[in-house]
């Protein structure tokens, strides 16, 4: 890896007192100005856990499919910017979820086999801590499932190879650094004001130029791994092309999931 980073360490802890243990782990990371992801199995659990962590004095928010696209982007931006320290979610595997400030991922009920605790899901979830030098993944479980064992084995193998490579080439691991993007709410407000001025003054607005600018921004966002923002810009392009109005964005609509392979959007379950 160019930065010399190793795959995150994998730690096993028992289910008993997993919430209290998670709180303590979160506090340790917060003291270092690092961020934490906590994954649960249901929306209700995510919301309840976020409320509980907030009650014990931690700065936390939750994220799931009921939250609309723009708000999801704002929540992720807020985590990176330090507006809060802990994000509780269910399926944190969305393409392009790039959070270099996250050093710890806590996976609750890791031994509950299913889609959210499959081998692929565990490996991808663990990868959310792979961009920080102190990356660690804590699996709370009473038994080691095949999926968990696969994650542990793959992680150990990768770490060994990565350490050998770093030693041979004299590479010192460094946390990934990436600027926090501007708030989408601020960007959209600015564009809405511009559009309003144009309409009120009867100005002649060049739709072709607008589309070109939006497409350039979308490509740049994708190149910067800001896939949530790129998806939002793609929505704007589609709305302009369909004649729905210049940069018209509905504040509330059914969340959608963008899949890199399919190249189209489909409703999230």
pLDDT of the residue at 66: 83
| 12, 155 contact by CB (below 8 A) | no
Q: Mean pLDDT of all residues in the chain?
A: 80
pLDDT of the residue at 70: 74
In the chain, % of residues over pLDDT 70? 74
CA-based nearest residue to 256, from 247, 245, 268, 244: 268
Fold of 9-169: Rossmann fold (3.40.50)
Domain boundaries, the chain: 9-169, 184-267
Cβ within 8 Å of residue 258, ≥6 positions away: 95, 227, 231, 265
Supply the angle between the helices 227-241 and 207-223 in degrees, to the nearest 10: 160
Rg (alpha carbons) of the chain, rounded to whole number: 21
Full 3-state SS string of 2-54: CCCCCCCEEEEECCCCHHHHHHHHHHHHHHCCCEEEEECCCHHHHHHHHHHHH
Q: How confident is the model at residue 211 (pLDDT cuts 50, 70, 90)?
A: confident
For the cut 70, the answer to whether the pLDDT of residue 112 exceeds it is yes
- Cα–Cα distance measured from residue 269 to residue 267, given in angstroms and rounded to the nearest whole number: 6
pLDDT of the residue at 181: 57
CA-based nearest residue to 150, from 185, 174, 171, 119: 119
- Cα–Cα distance measured from residue 37 to residue 196, given in angstroms and rounded to the nearest whole number: 40
Cβ within 8 Å of residue 267, ≥6 positions away: 254, 255, 256, 257
* CA 1 distance to own-chain centroid: 21
pLDDT of the residue at 23: 97
Q: Quick: pLDDT tens for 64-81.
A: 888 877 788 888 889 999
Stated pTM of the model:
0.69
| 102, 128 contact by CB (below 8 A) | yes
For the cut 60, the answer to whether the pLDDT of residue 122 exceeds it is yes
- Cα–Cα distance measured from residue 76 to residue 95, given in angstroms and rounded to the nearest whole number: 13
Q: How confident is the model at residue 180 (pLDDT cuts 50, 70, 90)?
A: low
Tokens of 16: 């008993």
Helix (H) or strand (E) holding 137: strand 136-140
Q: What is the mean pLDDT of residues 240-244?
A: 63
Q: Quick: pLDDT tens for 145-178.
A: 999 999 999 999 999 999 999 999 898 888 766 6
């Amino acid at each position: 890896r160019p930065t010399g980073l190793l795959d995150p360490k994998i730690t096993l802890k028992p289910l008993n007192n997993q919430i209290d243990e998670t709180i303590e782990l979160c506090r340790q990371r917060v003291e270092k100005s690092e961020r934490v992801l906590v994954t649960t199995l249901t929306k209700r659990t995510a919301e309840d856990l976020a409320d509980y962590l907030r009650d014990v004095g931690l700065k936390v928010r939750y994220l799931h499919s009921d939250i609309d696209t723009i708000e999801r982007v704002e929540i992720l931006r807020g985590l990176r910017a330090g507006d809060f320290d802990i994000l509780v979610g269910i399926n944190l595997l969305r393409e392009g979820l790039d959070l270099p400030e996250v050093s710890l991922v806590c996976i609750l009920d890791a031994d509950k086999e299913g889609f959210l605790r499959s081998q692929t899901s565990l490996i991808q979830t663990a990868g959310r801590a792979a961009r920080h030098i102190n990356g660690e993944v804590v699996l709370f479980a009473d038994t080691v499932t095949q999926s968990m064992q696969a994650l542990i084995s793959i992680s150990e193998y990768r770490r060994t190879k990565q350490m050998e490579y770093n030693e041979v080439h004299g590479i010192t691991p460094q946390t990934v650094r990436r600027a926090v993007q501007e708030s989408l709410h601020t960007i959209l407000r600015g564009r809405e004001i511009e559009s309003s001025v144009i309409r009120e003054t009867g100005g002649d607005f060049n739709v072709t130029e607008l589309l070109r600018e939006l497409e350039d921004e979308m490509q740049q966002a994708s190149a910067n791994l800001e896939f949530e923002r790129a998806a939002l810009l793609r929505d704007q392009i589609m709305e302009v092309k369909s004649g729905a109005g210049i940069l018209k964005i509905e504040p509330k609509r059914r969340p959608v999931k963008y899949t890199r392979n399919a190249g189209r959007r489909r409703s999230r379950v």
